[in-house]
């Protein structure tokens, strides 16, 4: 039996999703059993297409790709094309994939994979809105306890009050489907959460992007281009005020880092609540409670230098 960690990645590429996928593909101890697309940064059709483009670009056409939910559970659709670009990948030419996506729906694929797996065999990395994962739990509640590890990128829990990137209160993945997030935070027995403030500790600044470019492989150069475009957009964007940073936060790659090298991250146990009141200015806001329910390990710190070095090393291992 393979000693690799089996994972399913649920994603909406997305610039930082692209880097996260490259990182996971480069890890010799990770077996990606499937990648599932969800509506988020871009519409699910673009997300699914982008996943195949990225896999092919990194010579991983062996990974099956599945299309999932095309809209949030209850709220209306939002996207983040203002930062990720109309195509979701900053207009970078990743080419046209020559391989097809799978016919099976992502939700059914995840349910089938978990239900036929042995206990705690497959981990799930959710780096987009949680619509697919919530739908999995609603359709087959037994799946929740079958997951080995569930890692989510989402939420904002700053000490001086949440500072979101989608609104002053809400982080994008939470705002894009708060009802789904609420279901997942309630039903999963154990979750590791990478919130915004952790991703913001690992910022791809000019110096880091140059180091990435110096690797001089096509995946590293593509990654550098994506991050550079995002950094330029963020710099001039009035919407950047709540974040106020120079460079691009490596949100989704941090979630992969947490799966591969959890020792680089530290956090605290408690439960997470999500505001699902669409009429509130705090719609999509997450809050943390240190109570008796302690199913969430919400990270608050990353060893940024080790993490960034790890990302560079991983990119160097790809074509």
Direct distance between the N- and C-terminal alpha carbons of the chain, in angstroms, rounded to an integer: 28
Integer Cα distance of 137 and 146 in angstroms: 11
Which one of the spans 11-19, 72-80, 213-221, 278-286 is the region binding Ca ion (CB under 5 A)? 11-19
Site string for ligand BDR, 22-41 (x = CB under 6 A): -------------------x
Which residue has tokens 């009050």?
Answer: 161
Q: Per CB under 5 A, which of residues 15..54 are in contact with Ca ion?
A: 17
Integer Cα distance of 54 and 227 in angstroms: 15
**The binder of ligand BDR chosen from 8, 9, 16, 92 (CB under 6 A):** 16
Nearer to ligand BDR, 54 or 111 (CB): 54
- The least CB distance from residue 153 to ligand BDR, in Å, is 5
In sequence order, the β-bridge partners of residue 36 are: 10, 66
Residue 92 DSSP symbol? -
Site string for ligand BDR, 64-93 (x = CB under 6 A): ----------------x-------------
Q: Interface with ligand BDR includes 172 (CB under 6 A)?
A: yes
Task: Give per-residue burial for 123-132: e unless 16+ CB within 10 Å, then b.
Answer: bbbbbbbbbb
**The binder of ligand BDR chosen from 173, 248, 271, 275 (CB under 6 A):** 173
Site string for Ca ion, 82-121 (x = CB under 5 A): ----------------------------------------
- What Rg value do the Cα atoms of the chain yield, rounded? 18
Binds 171: which of ligand BDR, Ca ion, none (CB < 5-8 Å by kind): ligand BDR
Nearer to ligand BDR, 242 or 262 (CB): 242
Please report the sign of the dihedral spanned by the C-alpha atoms of residue 231, residue 237, residue 243, residue 246. positive
- The least CB distance from residue 260 to ligand BDR, in Å, is 17
- The least CB distance from residue 84 to ligand BDR, in Å, is 7
As given in the structure block, the two tokens for residue 103 are 């016919």
Integer Cα distance of 230 and 236 in angstroms: 10
Residue 121 DSSP symbol? -
């Amino acid at each position: 039996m393979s000693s690799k960690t089996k994972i399913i990645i649920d994603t909406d590429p997305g610039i930082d999703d692209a880097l996260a996928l490259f990182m996971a593909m480069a890890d010799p101890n990770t077996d990606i059993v499937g990648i599932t697309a969800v509506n988020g940064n871009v519409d699910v059709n673009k997300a699914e297409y982008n996943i195949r483009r990225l896999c092919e670009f990194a010579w991983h056409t062996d990974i099956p790709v599945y299309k999932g939910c095309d809209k949030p559970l209850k709220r209306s659709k939002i996207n983040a094309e203002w930062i990720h670009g109309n195509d979701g990948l900053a207009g970078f030419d990743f080419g046209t994939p020559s391989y097809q996506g799978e016919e099976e729906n992502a939700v059914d694929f995840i349910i089938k994979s978990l239900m036929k797996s042995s206990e705690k065999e497959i981990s799930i990395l959710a780096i987009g809105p949680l619509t697919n994962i919530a739908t999995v739990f609603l359709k087959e509640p037994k799946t929740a306890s079958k997951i080995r590890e569930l890692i989510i990128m989402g939420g904002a829990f700053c000490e001086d009050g949440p500072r979101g990137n989608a609104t002053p209160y809400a982080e994008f993945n939470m705002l894009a489907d708060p009802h789904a997030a609420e279901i997942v935070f309630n039903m999963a027995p154990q979750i590791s959460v990478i919130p915004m403030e952790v991703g913001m500790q690992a910022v791809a600044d000019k110096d880091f992007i140059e180091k990435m470019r110096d690797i001089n492989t096509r995946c590293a150069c593509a990654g550098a281009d994506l991050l550079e475009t995002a950094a330029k957009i963020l710099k001039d964007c009035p919407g950047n005020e709540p974040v106020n940073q120079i460079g691009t936060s490596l949100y989704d790659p941090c979630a992969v880092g947490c799966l591969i090298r959890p020792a680089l991250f530290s956090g605290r146990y408690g439960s997470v609540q999500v505001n699902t009141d669409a009429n509130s200015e705090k719609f999509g806001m997450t809050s943390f409670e240190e109570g008796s329910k302690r199913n969430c390990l919400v990270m608050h710190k990353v060893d940024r230098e080790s993490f960034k070095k790890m990302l560079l090393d991983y990119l160097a291992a790809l074509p």
